[in-house]
Amino acid sequence: FGIGNMVQANSISEMLTEPMHLPALLGSTEISMPKWITGIVMTVLTGVVILGGIRSIAHVCGVLVPIMAVCYVAGCLGILIVRYEAVPGALVLIVKSAFSPQAAAGGVVGVGVLQTMRYGVARGLFSNESGLGSAPIVAAAAQTKNPVRQALVSSTGTFWDTVVICLLTGLVIVSSGHWQQGVEGPALTKTAFHALGRIGPLILSVGLLTFVFSTILGWSYYGEKACEYLLGSSAILPYRFLWVIAVMIGSLVKLQAVWNFADIANALMAVPNLIALLGLSGVIVAETRKYLWSDRLDSDESGIEPTGFPAITADADDTNSGASI
């Protein structure tokens, strides 16, 4: 309800409340939308889709995600082309700032370390969901020959989220120079997109709208599977109604309250999942040896039996008694 619902709904409602100039082709007018209207529209659309189940969610996301990727990446590349002279300086500034004496001195201070861990870890989790245990839920629904192949595909998500998208965003913001003028938060990205003229904020808005909606739909499936596992299939429908209501709440409440709730919810997911990952490290080593090191990625065998994980357990025992990784 935090990272995948209320934060997303709040982001789009905050953005649409600010006036946006439409280009001449669309009437050269200025539009904005109250938060409650944004909330109602998002709530209705979310309810219509998630009540249709995973097939409906997959179909809608399959349409939205390419639009999101094309709009945002094309917009960022367009800005970097327009400001090509500022890009090398932006890269140098990012690297120098990361490894400067001021950064090192700030990191030595106890408060600096705590703040870095607090916001660095929290925003890192928000960016790529690493360690939350959310991605395996949808990965488990994929049709694949074996678990290692699917794991390798899923692991690339962190690269695209953090290395590619965040790098593009960082370069766009730093090269714009608006961060030196007191502009903060989401307004930084929106202001930077003005480099493309009036069409810039429109491109950003379309990309953000599709991203927000697809994220809300995807996370609804994560929560639904967890709810079904804990409470049974009878809890799915009430959960879906709660999810839809949370979209409306997220659209209206204050930004800081939404982020605080999301950070707490992320921690509650990450801690038990990380402990489980440590406990399952033997299984990971065994499956890696079985498929990746033995060049069996095209094998149809899963190594997982319906009654549990005896095949994996046996491999893990062999791994522990033999070579280590």
Grouping H, G, I as helix, E, B as strand and the rest as coil, residue 56 is helix
pLDDT of residue 106: 52
Would you state the pLDDT for residue 35? 83
Residue 110: how many CA atoms within 13 Å on its side-chain side?
0
Give the Cα separation of 208 and 84 in Å (integer): 24
CA-to-CA distance for 17 and 257, rounded, in angstroms? 18
SS3 300: coil
The model's pTM: 0.71
What does the alpha-carbon distance between residue 158 and residue 54 come to, in Å, rounded to a whole number?
A: 23
282-319 pLDDT, tens per residue?
888 887 777 776 666 565 554 444 434 444 444 434 43
Whose tokens are 């065994």? That residue is 286
The low-confidence residues of the chain, meaning pLDDT below 70, are 19-32, 98-124, 145, 183-186, 293-325
- DSSP 8-state code for residue 30: E
pLDDT at 101: 60
